[in-house]
Amino acid sequence: MGDSNRSDKVATAFRLLLLLSLVADPIQGSAETLAVAPFKTVGVELSISEALRWALADELDRWSPYPIVSRAELEERQAHAMGGQLGQRHDCYTLQCLSAIGKNLDVAWLIGGVIRRRSQKEAQLKLALIDVDREQVLQKIELVLKDPLHWGQQTRAVGEKLFQVSGSLVVVSNVRGAMVSIDGQRFGKTPLALAEIRVGRRMVEVAKGGHFPYVGVVTVERDQVASLRAFLPKR
């Protein structure tokens, strides 16, 4: 009976240590939030540019693996960023400028764009997905918007394409056949090699009967191979 109680206490203490490690290195929060910056405009009315911006932001809720900063919260952050100037610029599309906006808005991922009128009925829209912390362009998309009445619909259609960015991940453990879950979804047993996994910080759990589970965080970068070695102590 005493051994059983001691084992339960050890298991509880181990789970608390795992929880504390996640609190100290959180998965969510500003490090994993995303926002759409004001588009740079060339020959297009500001009201139209902003309408397309928010149309895209609404659509991203369907596709983004990261929490989207709400319009109300983003407008509040814009008002405080650099005295309300930097976060509301409509002349910014360089990597350096977009990264600066992302840092001032306190997000780790930012989508910037430039919309340029080509004719009365056509405009060119360029979009870039930026890793703010690394000042790196993860994805670029360019499209031609035809017929102003449908510009919003055409802009929404690119939401999924922006997040078709992946890297690779290899997971091994000291015991073979341990189940690997990434962000709560099971992917297979160790040793495990995944050719395509979405970029960003992923929470990985490795578990097998008779052992304490491993929980950790790994960063997956575009076109790179990330590796994780999990140690599962015996119960």
pLDDT per residue of the chain (235 residues) written in tens, 0 to 9: 555 555 454 444 444 444 444 433 443 434 578 899 989 999 999 999 999 998 888 888 777 777 888 888 887 877 766 554 554 566 788 888 888 888 888 888 899 999 999 998 999 999 999 989 888 888 899 999 998 888 888 887 787 778 777 889 999 999 999 999 998 899 999 999 998 887 777 899 999 999 999 999 888 877 788 999 999 999 9
Residue 183 DSSP SS3: coil
Q: Residue 76: what pLDDT? A: 80
- Tokens of residue 138, six digits: 């993860």
Distances (CA, A) of 146 to 41, 47, 125, 191, 226: 17, 18, 11, 49, 41
Helix (H) or strand (E) segment spanning residue 136: strand 136-146
d(CA 179, CA 166): 22
Instruction: Please state the pTM of the whole predicted model.
Output: 0.63
Q: Residue 169: what pLDDT? A: 93
- Tokens of residue 72, six digits: 């109300």
- Tokens of residue 102, six digits: 């992302």
Residue type, 168: S
d(CA 2, CA 160): 56
Beta bridge partners of 219: 201
d(CA 47, CA 166): 34
What's the DSSP call for residue 34? E
- Tokens of residue 110, six digits: 């930012």
- Tokens of residue 6, six digits: 């001691």
Domains and CATH numbers, the chain: 2-28+165-230 (2.60.40), 33-162 (3.40.50.10070)
d(CA 190, CA 97): 42
- The b-or-e profile of 7-22 (16+ CB within 10 A means b, else e) is eeeeeeeeeeebeeee
Q: Residue 88: what pLDDT? A: 56
Residue type, 124: Q
Q: Residue 27: what pLDDT? A: 39
Contact between residue 109 and residue 128 where contact means Cβ atoms under 8 Å apart:
no
Residue type, 151: W
d(CA 15, CA 23): 12
Q: Residue 11: what pLDDT? A: 46
